[in-house]
Amino acid sequence: MPDSSASEGRLLAPAAAAEALAVSVDDVIALIMEGRLRGVRVGSGRQWRISESSLAEYLDDLAEEARRIALWRQSNAASFPELWGKGPVRNPD
């Protein structure tokens, strides 16, 4: 039976994941506890390890969230009367 951690790529220590995300180690552990990052406990000290693929997926999710927020803000800034062809034009070209 294949090892599931091997199929997900390398495992990173929380410090390495924190450095990649530019956050604290405590923030990385909190992301694991929230289920936003996949982590496993390994070794006798039961230390956390985070899969590289999980980190990549988390960064992709952040980028998608930022994209959606930007689109939402853009749509909120639009003047709907201008789009419908009624009302004054606020910013004529």
> Interhelix angle for 14-21 vs 52-77, to 10°?
30
Q: What is the pLDDT, as a whole number, of residue 21?
A: 94
pLDDT at 42 over 50: yes
Token pair of 48 as six digits: 């956390």
Contact 21, 55 (CB under 8 A): yes
Residue 58 makes CB contacts below 8 A (sequence gap 6+) with: 21, 31, 36, 37
pLDDT at 87 over 50: yes
Strand partners, 40: 49
> pTM value?
0.67
What is the predicted pLDDT for the residue at 83?
61
Please state the rounded mean pLDDT for residues 8-32.
Answer: 92
pLDDT at 68 over 70: yes
Helical spans, DSSP H, in the chain: 4-7, 14-21, 25-34, 52-77, 80-84
Q: Under a CB-based contact definition with an 8 Å cutoff, are residues 82 and 89 in contact? A: yes
Most confident of the ranges 41-45, 66-70, 83-87: 66-70
